[in-house]
Amino acid sequence: MSNYLKIIFLFLFIACGKIKKETVKIALQETNFPVYAILSNDTNRIVRVCFPKEIKIENISSSEKSFIKINYKYNSISTPIGNFIKLYKNKNEVLEKISNNKKKNILSKKAEKYILYTVHYIDESTFFTNQFQSYNEKLLAEHKDTLHIGTVS
């Protein structure tokens, strides 16, 4: 009887100690896509700044994986894609917008790269207004609502 108990305990020990392998790896990488600012037509001031990030999603499993949404935490608010981020696919240095309701597949042992723009709302305080004054003037002079203001790298 004690041999049976030893075998059962050994089996439980092996089964409980089994390490679960990761099937997907996610990494943020640098990108040379521009940071841009968005002007409000109502207030004639910059109300949002958008920063690019490249995200690499690698499927290391032996089966296809898929996802629909990317969640992003902004000001302690967890939100689905669309509110504070925009997702794009880089096609020969041209950004192609990806829908947040579209299923995205990653084949087995393959990786996909996406460009993720985070959207940050600018406070109406004097400090921020002064920081973006030159960009506001340029946008108004050129009759534009969006301005590329540099890169993050």
Between CA 88 and CA 99 the distance in angstroms is 9
Q: Is residue 6 part of a domain?
A: no
Domain count for the chain = 1
Q: Is residue 56 part of a domain?
A: yes
Q: Is residue 13 part of a domain?
A: no
Domain carrying residue 120? 22-151
Q: Is residue 8 part of a domain?
A: no
For residues 60-84, average pLDDT: 71
Tell me what pLDDT residue 81 has.
43
Q: Is residue 65 part of a domain?
A: yes
pLDDT bin (cut points 50, 70, 90) of residue 43 is: confident
Q: Is residue 1 part of a domain?
A: no
Q: Is residue 2 part of a domain?
A: no
Between CA 128 and CA 47 the distance in angstroms is 10
Provide the whole-model pTM: 0.67
Q: Is residue 15 part of a domain?
A: no
